[in-house]
Amino acid sequence: MYPSWVTETVPSLALPDWAWKQPKVRRALVDRDVAGLFRAAQQYAGASQSRIATATGILQGRVSEIIRGSRSVTTLELFERIADGLGMPDDARMRFGLAPRHPAGLDHLGASGRAEILAVYPSQSTARKDIAGLAATAREMEVLAVRGLGILGLNDSMLRAHIQEAKPAVRVLLLDPDCPAAERRAAEIGESLGTFAAGIRLSVERLRELNDEIGTVQCHLYDLLPTWRVIGLDSTLFVSAFGDSHEGHTSPMYRLAGSPHGALHRGFQRFTDELRRTARQVV
């Protein structure tokens, strides 16, 4: 690797804005396919392997190995350097599983509005510790998901043990497995409708069992194309998004708190309340 002063003084590569919107580049971002991104830099920015190495602080020989597929990139620190070296805009960084450089980037909201955003995480896994800390003492939990298996549908799911121990009031919104949106979502992520729907039905059954155990669980089924994933723990919301080719747990996640003049927390709460009102209760 080059010393830190090299990447600090060498400008990042300048891919045109439209290059980041190319299907193969978007796919490389979602898959964290660094070789594909380096090839895009060669194609769209005319960058040599040497130039890529200088911009990212990776030895040229290793850049060559990455492009050939004989070396992979796995560390967050390297992903960050690659994103900086390629000059990724924030929307590309988010597809790449990294937090945007300007998460508050909402100067029009003013200080009170920005105060709603308490933290930004590259993915749900990096937020898991904070979620678990709040879940341990939460009296109310609200979950808006698609299948919800990783959140509460399995024995080792993120919230299930906390629910069994603390017995909070739990309200869950899952996608209706029989609605047209389920078929569309299954196609988006490359699954058969049968497999996709079976995952939702499994979560519903596990929630029914959980309600039989503690008596404080509700589950509703909605029929809209999934966009937002929300985990509400008392007054704190953890929000991420579903994309056309990635799941909510791989999206950057925002931790939101209510603010007197902010719109985000209030808006997401209103959205989930209305979605529940129009959904079909099954537990």
Distance of CA 117 to the CA centre of its chain: 15
Residues 16 and 54 in one domain: yes
Max Cα distance, the chain (Å): 62
Residues 130 and 268 in one domain: yes
Backbone angles phi, psi at 220, to 5 degrees: -120, 150
Q: Is the model more confident about 275 or about 99?
A: 275
Given a contact cutoff of 8 angstroms between Cβ atoms, the answer to whether 230 and 172 are in contact is no
Q: Rounded CA gap, 219 and 212, in Å?
A: 13
**Residue for token pair 């155990």:** 213
Specify burial of residue 252 (Cβ count, 10 A radius: 0-12, 13-18, 19+): buried
Residues 82 and 115 in one domain: no
Q: Rounded CA gap, 220 and 155, in Å?
A: 21
Identify the weakest region by mean pLDDT among 33-47, 77-91, 227-241: 77-91
Q: Is the model more confident about 265 or about 219?
A: 219
pLDDT of res. 57: 87
Residues 55 and 186 in one domain: no
Cross-strand partners of 141: 170, 233
Of 85, 81, 64, 120, the closest CA to residue 11 belongs to: 85
Residues 69 and 134 in one domain: no
Last residue of a domain, one of 38, 70, 95: 95
Residues 119 and 83 in one domain: no
- Three-state SS at 20: helix
CATH code for the domain of 194 = 3.30.870.10
pLDDT of res. 9: 44
Structure tokens belonging to residue 149: 């298996």
Q: Rounded CA gap, 203 and 219, in Å?
A: 10
pLDDT category, 249, cuts 50, 70, 90?
low
Of all residues in the chain, what percent carry a pLDDT higher than 70?
87
Residues 78 and 119 in one domain: no
Q: Rounded CA gap, 81 and 170, in Å?
A: 41
Given a contact cutoff of 8 angstroms between Cβ atoms, the answer to whether 222 and 278 are in contact is yes
Domains contained in the chain, number: 2
Is 102 part of a structural domain of the chain? no
Residues 262 and 135 in one domain: yes
pLDDT category, 261, cuts 50, 70, 90?
low
Q: How far apart are the first and last CA of the chain?
A: 55
pLDDT of res. 11: 59
Backbone angles phi, psi at 241, to 5 degrees: -130, 150
Is 100 part of a structural domain of the chain? no
Q: Across all residues in the chain, what is the average pLDDT?
A: 84
- pLDDT > 90? residue 38: yes
Cross-strand partners of 173: 144, 220
Q: What is the DSSP letter of 116?
A: T
Distance of CA 132 to the CA centre of its chain: 17
CATH code for the domain of 60 = 1.10.260
Residues 88 and 155 in one domain: no
Specify burial of residue 156 (Cβ count, 10 A radius: 0-12, 13-18, 19+): exposed
Q: What are the residues whose beta carbons fall under 8 Å from the beta carbon of 199, sequence distance 6 or more? A: 147, 149, 153
Residues 148 and 254 in one domain: yes
Helices 49-56, 60-68: inter-axial angle, 10-degree rounding: 110
Is 61 part of a structural domain of the chain? yes
Q: Rounded CA gap, 195 and 199, in Å?
A: 7
Residues 170 and 241 in one domain: yes
Is 101 part of a structural domain of the chain? no
- For 223, the domain range is 108-281
Report the pLDDT averaged over residues 130-138. 90
Structure tokens belonging to residue 142: 């609200």
Structure tokens belonging to residue 194: 């049968």
Report the pLDDT averaged over residues 4-26. 71
